[in-house]
Structure 1
Amino acid sequence: MSIPDHTRANFQTLLRAATSGDLALMECTEVATGETRYVICAVGRDAGDYVFTPFGHLADGNPFDLYRPPEAST
């Protein structure tokens, strides 16, 4: 499976934000479920206001139980 270009671009934005110290961890409410999520956001400025761009939330519990790497192709 190939990673889509827009996902790669978002990841590069996240790396730039991390390098420049422009990341925040925010407590947010997930719209679909109402659950509390801890969201990684890039922080920017727009006309003097702070702008928070969400990239994803931290996994609840053990992330090793939630994800597995892609299987090797033969």
Structure 2
Amino acid sequence: MSIPAYARTNFQTLLRAAGDGNLALMECLDAATGNPRYVICAVGRDDGDCLFTPFGHLADGNPYDAYLPPDPGDPEGFVRPEPGDAP
């Protein structure tokens, strides 16, 4: 499974911003639900103004419950929960 170029580019930008001390955590509202989200942003500057570029939000609750990792035995697949496991 290959990570797309845009995701690699955004990740490199995020790493650069972190290395330069230019990250912020902002409370925002989810555009679809209106729920609060805590968004990781890169901070840029333009003529004294701060510009915030959102990269993603922190997972609510337990992040291990929110994502399915790649399957080490199948390079094209993901680990799937066992039937009956809670999502």
Which TM-score band applies after superposition, normalised by the shorter structure?
A: over 0.9
Unaligned 5+ segments in structure 1 are none
With structure 1 as the length reference, what TM-score do the two structures score?
0.94
The alignment of Structure 1 onto Structure 2 pairs a total of residues equal to: 74
Aligned to 1:65: 65
Instruction: Return the structure number with greater relative CO, CA threshold 8 A, min gap 6.
Output: 1
Amino acid corresponding to residue 4 of structure 1 in structure 2: P
Q: Identity of paired residues, percent?
A: 70
Amino acid corresponding to residue 26 of structure 1 in structure 2: M
Q: Does 44-53 or 16-25 show the bigger shift?
A: 44-53
- Counterparts of 1:1-74 in structure 2, within 5 Å, are 1-72=1-72, 73=74
Amino acid corresponding to residue 39 of structure 1 in structure 2: V
CA-based RMSD of the aligned residues comes to 1.1
- In our comparison, the structure showing a higher alpha carbon Rg is 2
Q: Does 41-50 or 10-19 show the bigger shift?
A: 41-50
CA distance in 1, matches of 2:19, 2:68: 27
Unaligned 5+ segments in structure 2 are 76-87
Amino acid corresponding to residue 13 of structure 1 in structure 2: T
Shift of 1:66: 1.0
